[in-house]
Amino acid sequence: MLSNRRLLILTTALAPALWGTTYLTATMFLPEGRPLLAATLRALPAGLLLLLVCRQLPRGEWWWKSWVLGIFNIGAFFALLFIAAYRLPGGVAAIVGGIQPLVVALLASRVLHERLTARVVAAGLAGVFGVGLITLQAQARLDAIGVLAAVGGTLSMASGIVLSKKWGQPASPLTTTAWQLITGGLTLLMVMLAFEGLPATALTPSNLGGYAYLSLVGTAFAYVMWFRGIARLPASTTAFLGLLSPVVAILLGWAVAGEAFTPTQMLGVLIVLGSIAAAIFAKSARPPVEYEVVAANRSS
């Protein structure tokens, strides 16, 4: 029978695994050239749906904290994610996220005073090397704006992870996820109206299906699991689980889109999985922390 910690890790890992499907979904089902529309329709409907379930609004300082977290974790991250997805080949945008565990580990050591061990650093470097093996084999030209967007999205998410851990959660993960999706979604809506405007043509059933999948499965469900994991696991452990996203993306690109998948790329995937395992087992002695305890510690 799985221990509570292993079950928590597995359920948290569902989030980046589902995010790894974003790139294929965007290229196969969503209209071209509308990254801000995609980001808005992914975030805002999911947040409103979760708010209908939890029926709880922020109080006090959590109005502005939810907005800050909503921008880092949702607004800026989603916008940059879809810009990268539209401008880069399948899987490559997610692979840039290989630097995220190192960024989170460094920020967590400074902000959260989590111990930055040699094992975590080595695992992070191995993860970067592994995703590098996969990236170098991609049979496509990289777009500079797409790469910058992918790097920016990675830095935004890393900052959001550390801030989420520092501030704790004053309510259940479902509730705090709703707040962030709504604040991030409203920010995206304003940016979309300013720069892209409303769609000139009606969305097709295929477009609507793609948006529905990303909003309900890849966002509402995935982010509840993700923020639940952030509240109960060390920040660096959660960040390493994020490396599952490029692994899923590259495997889907090979299995569904017919992209090249060489033995060198397979080696890269194995190295990435090994780096995740090394980082997780380095924290194996630390028990899960319930979100109520985290919130209490942050407020004391």
- Chunked into runs of 10 residues, the chain (300 residues) has average pLDDT values of 81 92 86 89 96 94 96 92 73 67 89 87 87 64 80 90 93 96 96 91 94 95 94 89 85 81 86 90 50 41
Whether the CB-CB separation of 143 and 92 falls below 8 Å is answered with: no
DSSP 8-state secondary structure symbol assigned to residue 33: T
pLDDT reported for residue 287: 43
pTM across the whole model: 0.84
H-type alpha helices, 196-290: 205-215, 222-232, 235-241, 244-255, 263-282
pLDDT reported for residue 65: 96
Report CA Rg, the chain.
Answer: 18
Whether the CB-CB separation of 222 and 176 falls below 8 Å is answered with: no
pLDDT reported for residue 289: 44
